[in-house]
C-alpha cells in the first residue's frame, strides 16, 4: 500500500520533470537559435542605439575634415576634378604641417594628370588612400578588388573603405579587414591611420575577425570641417592644419556616398565624416567588439537555465519577481558589458528565452497541479474513511469553481476527521499521549492531564513517565499514589509508511492487579487451606479413629475427600496455566512422553493395561514448558488408562506432521469410546467420563487444551467403538538443536 502511494506521489513529479525538461529545451533552444542567427537583431539594435550614446567618445581635436562640398564645386567646377587639383591640395596640407592625410577619394582610372599627383604624393606627408571593392565581380566572382592607379600605390598606403549596413539600413558595424577578392587581407583606411599615429594595430583589429561596432560621437557635424576650395586657395590659416589628421572626402550633394546612422535625427552622413567618427572612436579606445555567435548562443541559454532551476524552489509570486529580475539583470549585464568592457552581448535572444520560459512553465505547472489535485481528491473520495456526515455545497458554475469546491470539500472532510480523532482521543477513559518522532508530546487527553497534571505539550515522554513512576517492571509501573499502570506504545505512520511519531496509552490496571491478588489468595485457599481439611478427613477415616465407622461409609467419605482434593489441584493447575507467562525452553518431545508413560505405568499394570511407545527414538525438538507439557501428556494417558478395558493396549506415538517443521503426538486407547454429546464439549470445564460414570473432577482435558494453546499446538479427538485417539500437532525446531549460549 505504501509503495503504491509512493508511486502515485512520484508519478506527477516525473511528469512535471519531463515537462520542465521540454520547456527548458524549447525556451533554451529558441534563445540559442535567435542568438546564432541574429533573429532578435531588430530588438537588439533598438537597445544598442539607446545604450551606445553613453559610450560616445569625445571629439579628438586632431581630426580635421577637408570637404569636397557644394561651395567647392561652385568654385572649382563640376566633379570629377583634375588630378592636379588633388596634387595641389596634398602639397598645401603638407606645407601646413598636417601629420597625416587620409584621402577618401578613389583614384582608379588613369588620367593625364596622374604624374603630377604621384610627384605630390612622393613629397607630401604620409598619405593613405582607398581602393575599390566592386560587387558583383567579373566572371562570376562575388567581389572584384580594384586598386588605385600605380602612382597612388607607389607613394601611399592603400586601405579599404567598404561599409555594409545592418538589416535596418543603418551603419553600426565596420570591418577593419577585408579579404574578399584579394590575396592578403586589406586593413581599413582608418586602421592604417591609427597605425600611423599610434605605431601599432588597434586593439580591436584582427586580420580575419568579425566586424566591430562603431560608437559615434554625440551628433553629426562634430568634427571641424574646411572646404576643399578654401584650403586650396590658402584661405584657411596653417595653424588650423598643423599637426592635424586631415581626412579629405566628399560632402557635396550627389558626390560620394551618404550613410544612415543611429544618431538622433537619423540624417545621412557623408562617408568622410563616418570615417572621422571611426578614427575618433579608435583613438579614444571606445570601439566595441561583438560576442561571437557561438558564445552568444551558449550565454543566451544560461539565464533560461537559471530561471528554470529556480522554478523548482520558488512560489508563483517569487517566480514572477525573479523572472522580472532576470530580465533586468540581462539588460543590465548587457549594458554593463557594452559601456564598461566594450563587449556587446545582444540581449534579445536571452529576453526571448526568459519571456517564453515563465509563461510556459507557469501554465504547465498550474495544469499539472490542477491534474494532481483532481486525482488526489478523487483518490481521497474513493478511500474508505469514517462514516461522518458530508457537508452540502452549491452546484458549481464552471470547471475552476468545481475544482475549488472539490478541494474545499476534501479539506472540510480532513478537518472533520481530524476533529473526530481529536475528540475520540480526548474522551478516552485511559490516559493517551501523542508524540512526534523526537518523542516530544504534541497532544495529551484529559485523562492524561488528570493523571500527570499540568500542560504536557513539548515535554519528552521519558521525562513525563519518570516524574510519575515510583517503581517500574518492563512496561508496568507503580505510581507514587500506589496505582498500577501499564504502558502501551504504538508506532504512528504517514500514509506512505514513513514513521511520524508515537501514541502512548497508560492503562490503570490497579483493579486487575487487585483481582489477580484475590485470585492468588483463592488459589492459595484451594491449594492449601482446602487440601488440609480433606487430608485430615482421609487420615481420620482410614486411621484408628475411623475404626468405629462402618467400612462402607468410611470408604465413601475417603473417596469424596480425595475427589475434593483432586478438584482443588485441577482447578489450581488450570488457573495457573491460563494466567502464568509463557516461558519455554528447548526440550526433546520424546522425553516428555516417555516420562508421562513411566509415571502411569504402575497404575496401568495394576489394571492390566499395556502402554506402548512408538517413534520415541526420533530426536524431535521444540520450545516448550516441560512441566506443563508433562502434566498434559500425563492427563491424557491417565484418562486412557481409566477408560481402557483389562488386557487392552494404549499406544503413544510420535510421527512427522504434514508440515516440514511439524510433529504429531497421538495417544490411542482401545476403550468403548464416548458419546457425541460428550465429545462436542470435551475440553470444557467439569466434563469427564465416557458418559456412563464420572470418576474425575472434569478439569484434566480443559488443562490439556490450555497447555496446547499456550504452545501454539492443536489437539483433536476421534472416538468410536474401537477406542479414542487424541492427536496433538506441534511446531518443531530444526533437526539440530540450537546452540547453547555460554553464561558469563
Q: Is the pLDDT of residue 36 over 50?
A: yes
- So what's the pLDDT on residue 35? 92
Give 132-164 pLDDT, tens digit per residue.
776 565 666 666 778 899 988 888 999 988 888
**pLDDT mean over 625-636:** 90
Judge if the upstream peptide bond of residue 80 is cis by omega within 30 degrees of 0. Answer: yes
Q: What is the pLDDT of residues 296-352, one digit of tens each?
A: 999 999 999 999 998 888 888 898 899 999 999 999 999 999 999 999 999 999 999
**Least confident range of 42-46, 361-365, 510-514, 556-560:** 556-560
**Contact assessment for residue 311 and residue 20, using Cβ atoms and an 8 Å cutoff:** yes
The pLDDT assigned to 744 comes to 44
> Does the pLDDT of residue 685 top 70, yes or no?
no
Domain residue spans in the chain? 17-51+292-368, 58-285, 384-423, 427-485+492-500, 509-580, 584-731
Q: How many beta carbons lie within 10 A of that of residue 29, not counting itself?
A: 15
What's the CA gap between 192 and 187, in Å, rounded?
A: 7
What number is the average pLDDT over the span 338-367?
88
Q: Is the pLDDT of residue 525 over 70?
A: no
Q: For domain 584-731, give its CATH number from 3.40.630.30, 3.40.50.1980, 3.30.565.10, 3.30.300.180.
A: 3.30.565.10
Antiparallel, parallel or unpaired: β 173-174 and 157-160: unpaired
So what's the pLDDT on residue 180? 76
Q: Please give the model's pTM, rounded to 2 decimal places.
A: 0.57
pLDDT value at position 583? 86
Residue-wise pLDDT for 481-523, tens only, equals 777 888 888 888 877 778 888 888 888 777 777 766 766 656 5
CB distance 614 to 651 below 8 Å: yes
Residue 257 DSSP SS3: coil
Residue carrying C-alpha cell 477415616: 541
Q: What is the mean pLDDT of the chain?
A: 82
Pairing assessment for the beta strands 343-344 and 289-290 based on DSSP bridges: parallel
- CA-CA distance, 423 to 432, in Å (whole number)? 12
Which of 489, 513, 511, 514 is closest to 502 using CA atoms?
489
On the question of pLDDT at 375 being above 80, the answer is no
Amino acid at each position: 500500500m505504501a509503495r503504491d502511494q509512493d508511486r502515485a506521489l512520484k508519478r506527477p513529479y516525473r511528469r512535471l520533470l519531463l515537462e520542465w525538461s521540454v520547456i527548458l529545451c524549447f525556451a533554451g533552444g529558441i534563445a540559442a537559435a535567435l542568438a546564432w542567427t541574429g533573429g532578435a537583431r531588430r530588438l537588439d539594435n533598438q537597445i544598442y542605439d539607446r545604450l551606445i550614446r553613453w559610450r560616445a567618445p569625445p571629439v579628438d581635436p586632431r581630426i580635421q575634415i577637408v570637404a569636397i562640398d557644394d561651395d567647392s564645386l561652385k568654385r572649382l567646377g563640376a566633379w570629377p576634378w583634375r588630378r592636379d587639383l588633388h596634387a595641389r591640395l596634398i602639397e598645401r596640407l603638407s606645407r601646413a604641417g598636417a601629420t597625416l592625410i587620409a584621402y577618401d577619394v578613389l583614384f582608379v582610372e588613369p588620367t593625364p594628370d596622374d604624374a603630377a599627383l604621384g610627384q605630390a604624393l612622393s613629397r607630401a606627408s604620409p598619405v593613405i588612400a582607398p581602393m575599390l571593392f566592386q560587387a558583383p565581380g567579373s566572371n562570376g566572382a562575388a567581389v572584384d578588388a580594384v586598386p588605385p592607379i600605380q602612382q597612388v600605390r607607389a607613394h601611399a598606403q592603400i586601405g579599404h573603405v567598404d561599409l555594409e549596413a545592418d538589416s535596418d539600413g543603418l551603419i553600426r558595424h565596420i570591418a577593419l579587414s577585408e579579404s574578399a577578392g584579394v590575396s592578403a587581407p586589406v586593413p581599413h583606411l582608418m586602421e592604417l591611420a591609427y597605425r600611423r599615429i599610434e605605431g601599432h594595430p588597434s586593439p580591436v583589429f584582427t586580420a580575419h575577425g568579425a566586424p566591430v561596432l562603431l560608437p559615434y560621437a554625440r551628433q553629426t557635424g562634430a568634427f571641424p570641417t574646411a572646404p576643399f576650395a578654401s584650403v586650396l586657395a590658402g584661405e584657411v590659416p596653417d595653424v588650423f592644419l598643423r599637426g592635424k589628421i586631415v581626412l579629405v572626402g566628399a560632402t557635396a550633394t550627389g558626390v560620394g556616398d551618404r550613410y544612415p546612422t543611429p544618431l538622433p535625427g537619423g540624417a545621412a552622413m557623408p562617408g568622410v565624416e563616418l570615417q572621422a567618427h571611426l578614427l575618433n572612436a579608435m583613438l579614444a579606445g571606445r570601439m566595441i567588439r561583438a560576442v561571437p555567435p557561438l558564445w552568444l548562443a551558449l550565454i543566451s541559454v544560461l539565464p533560461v537555465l537559471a530561471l528554470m532551476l529556480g522554478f523548482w524552489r520558488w512560489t508563483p509570486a517569487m517566480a514572477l519577481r525573479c523572472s522580472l529580475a532576470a530580465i533586468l539583470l540581462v539588460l543590465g549585464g548587457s549594458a554593463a558589458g557594452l559601456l564598461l568592457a566594450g563587449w556587446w552581448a545582444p540581449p534579445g535572444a536571452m529576453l526571448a528565452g526568459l519571456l517564453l520560459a515563465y509563461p510556459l512553465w507557469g501554465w504547465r505547472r498550474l495544469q499539472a497541479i490542477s491534474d494532481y489535485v483532481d486525482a488526489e481528491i478523487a483518490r481521497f473520495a474513493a478511500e474508505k474513511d469514517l462514516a461522518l456526515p458530508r457537508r452540502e455545497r452549491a452546484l458549481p458554475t464552471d470547471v475552476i469553481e468545481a475544482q475549488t469546491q472539490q478541494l474545499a470539500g476534501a479539506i472540510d472532510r480532513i478537518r472533520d476527521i481530524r476533529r473526530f480523532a481529536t475528540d475520540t482521543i480526548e474522551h478516552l477513559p485511559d490516559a493517551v499521549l501523542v508524540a512526534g518522532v523526537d518523542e516530544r508530546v504534541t497532544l495529551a487527553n484529559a485523562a492524561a492531564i488528570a493523571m500527570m497534571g499540568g500542560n504536557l505539550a513539548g515535554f519528552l515522554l521519558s521525562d513525563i513517565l519518570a516524574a510519575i513512576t515510583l517503581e517500574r517492571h518492563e512496561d508496568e509501573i507503580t505510581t507514587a499514589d500506589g496505582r498500577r499502570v501499564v504502558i502501551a506504545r504504538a508506532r504512528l505512520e504517514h500514509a506512505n509508511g514513513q514513521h511520524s511519531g508515537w501514541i502512548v496509552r497508560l492503562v490503570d490496571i490497579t483493579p486487575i492487579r487487585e483481582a489477580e491478588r484475590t485470585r492468588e489468595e483463592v488459589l492459595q485457599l484451594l491449594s492449601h487451606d482446602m487440601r488440609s481439611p480433606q487430608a485430615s478427613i482421609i487420615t481420620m477415616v482410614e486411621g484408628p479413629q475411623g475404626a468405629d465407622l462402618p467400612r462402607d461409609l468410611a470408604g465413601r467419605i475417603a473417596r469424596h475427600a480425595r475427589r475434593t482434593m483432586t478438584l482443588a489441584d485441577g482447578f489450581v493447575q488450570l488457573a495457573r496455566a491460563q494466567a502464568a507467562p509463557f516461558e519455554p525452553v528447548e526440550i526433546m518431545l520424546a522425553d516428555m512422553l516417555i516420562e508421562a508413560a513411566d509415571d502411569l505405568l504402575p497404575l496401568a499394570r495394576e489394571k492390566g493395561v499395556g502402554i506402548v511407545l512408538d517413534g520415541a527414538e526420533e530426536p524431535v525438538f521444540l520450545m516448550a514448558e516441560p512441566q506443563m507439557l508433562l502434566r498434559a501428556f500425563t492427563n491424557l494417558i491417565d484418562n486412557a488408562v481409566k477408560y481402557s478395558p483389562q488386557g487392552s493396549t494404549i499406544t503413544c506415538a510420535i510421527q512427522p506432521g504434514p508440515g516440514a517443521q511439524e510433529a504429531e503426538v497421538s495417544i490411542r486407547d482401545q476403550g468403548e469410546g464416548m458419546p457425541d454429546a460428550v465429545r462436542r464439549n470435551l475440553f470444557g470445564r467439569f466434563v469427564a467420563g465416557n458418559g456412563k460414570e464420572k470418576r474425575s473432577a472434569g478439569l484434566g482435558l480443559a488443562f490439556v487444551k490450555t497447555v496446547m494453546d499456550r504452545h501454539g499446538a492443536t489437539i483433536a479427538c476421534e472416538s468410536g467403538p474401537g477406542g479414542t485417539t487424541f492427536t496433538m500437532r506441534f511446531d518443531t525446531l530444526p533437526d539440530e538443536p540450537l546452540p547453547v549460549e555460554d553464561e558469563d
